[in-house]
Amino acid sequence: MNLGTIATAMITPFDERGAVDTAETARLARWLVDRGNDALIVAGSTGEGQTLNDSERYELVKAVKASVQNRATVIANAGLSATRESIESARRAQDAGADALLLVVPYYIKPTQTGMLRHFGAIADAVPLPQIVYNIPSRTVANMLPETLLQLAREHGNVAGVKESSGDLKQIATILRERDRGFRVWCGDDHLFLPCLALGADGLIGVASHLCSREFRQMYEAFTEGRVAEAAAIHASLLPLLDVLYRVTNPIPVKWAMNQMGFRAGVCRSPLDELPANLESALRPVIADFADPDMTAVLA
């Protein structure tokens, strides 16, 4: 299965009552695919997955799959802190129509490396879908080491790759050097996409790609076709956007931005709050560069 090259970890739109808006989620999914995404992550950390219940996650995956059909790979976040609950979450995602799973390293409890092997191995044995490990030590406070990850992949054929958000280029390079054929590595930090491509990474699972997926794809194509200077120029052009989008906790800025782009994204669920007013003035002119001609709200 083609698990995608440019993938967006989608926000989750909420309506005025704070309920999940599946219709708006489906509209956003179609728009993202139209702008060059060939995979979508549903109910991940950008999608406020830890604030969603089982039923909400199920309905989101079902809505996105029905919306995009086979135009993009639908990857459902199913990772929770406990193994048993993660297996149940993975099974529900499969029932909802997910093509693949994203499974974060268990957070807060700080598992050992052997604990990680048992955790991910149990999920891989229970659910046959392709599975992508999500390594983000800044949020989980536990780093899955390259040797652990690669052992897991060699023992379980459906462990298909990793979203690496450690920010450690040495660690990413080690995984790329030691991986077996077919194991894929996605950069999980927007600002490191080009450096990761230089190391041999296969793609991006991004947040800024809500706005600049076309530019990320152009950068990918330029680099892989040997037009390195062009790729570097695109990378540099995106830095102002990436800077503002990460000044406060994700997904607060990108959700605000998508509201300005004409989507009914709503506000983040508690305990996340709203975008500070001083960042609104910084973000508004930056995102205007990525608006389609008919998206006039951002320019108002």
Reading the block at residue 182, the tokens are 């077919």
CA dihedral sign, ordered 106, 112, 113, 119: negative
- Decide if 189 contacts 172 (C-beta within 8 A): no
Query: For residue 271, what pLDDT band results from cuts at 50, 70 and 90?
Result: very high
Unique residue bearing structure tokens 């990378």: 235
Query: For residue 137, what pLDDT band results from cuts at 50, 70 and 90?
Result: very high
Of 79-93, 158-172, 276-290, minimum mean pLDDT range? 276-290
Unique residue bearing structure tokens 């149990």: 122
Amino acid, single-letter form, for residue 57: R
- pLDDT for position 300: 52
Selecting among 58, 134, 220, 255, the annotated active-site residue is 134
Could you say which DSSP state residue 143 is in? Answer: P
Reading the block at residue 149, the tokens are 């990850």
Domains of the chain, residue spans: 6-225
- Decide if 238 contacts 41 (C-beta within 8 A): no
d(CA 42, CA 20): 12
Phi, psi torsion values for 97, nearest 5 degrees:
110, 10
Amino acid, single-letter form, for residue 82: A
**Cis peptide leading into residue 271 (ω within 30°):** yes
Q: Which residues contact 265 (CB under 8 A, 6 or more apart)?
A: 11, 13, 14, 24, 28, 255, 256, 258, 259
- pLDDT for position 298: 47
- Checking if the pLDDT of 172 tops 90, the result is yes
d(CA 90, CA 77): 8
Amino acid, single-letter form, for residue 214: R
- Decide if 239 contacts 192 (C-beta within 8 A): no
Q: What is the pLDDT of residues 245-254, one digit of tens each?
A: 999 999 999 9
Q: What is the pLDDT of residues 33-53, one digit of tens each?
A: 999 999 999 999 999 999 999
- Note the helical H segments in 71-204: 83-96, 113-126, 137-140, 146-155, 169-178, 193-199
Q: What is the pLDDT of residues 6-29, one digit of tens each?
A: 999 999 999 999 999 999 999 999
Q: Class of the 6-225 domain?
A: alpha beta
Helix (H, G, I), strand (E, B) or coil at 135: strand
Radius of gyration of the chain measured on its C-alpha atoms: 18
- pLDDT for position 295: 64
Q: What is the pLDDT of residues 186-242, one digit of tens each?
A: 999 999 999 999 999 999 999 999 999 999 999 999 999 999 999 999 999 999 999
Q: What is the pLDDT of residues 60-111, one digit of tens each?
A: 999 999 999 999 999 999 999 999 999 999 999 999 999 999 999 999 999 9
- Checking if the pLDDT of 146 tops 50, the result is yes
- Note the helical H segments in the chain: 22-34, 54-68, 83-96, 113-126, 137-140, 146-155, 169-178, 193-199, 209-224, 228-245, 252-260, 277-288
- pLDDT for position 291: 84
| 58 catalytic per annotation | no
- pLDDT for position 42: 98
Instruction: Give how far the C-alpha of residue 205 lies from the chain's centroid of Cα atoms, to the nearest Å.
Output: 4
- pLDDT for position 294: 66
Burial 175-199 (b: 16+ CB within 10 A, else e): bbeebeeebbbbbbbbbbbbebbeb
d(CA 127, CA 138): 28
Selecting among 163, 170, 220, 246, the annotated active-site residue is 163
- pLDDT for position 214: 96
- Checking if the pLDDT of 299 tops 60, the result is no
| 134 catalytic per annotation | yes
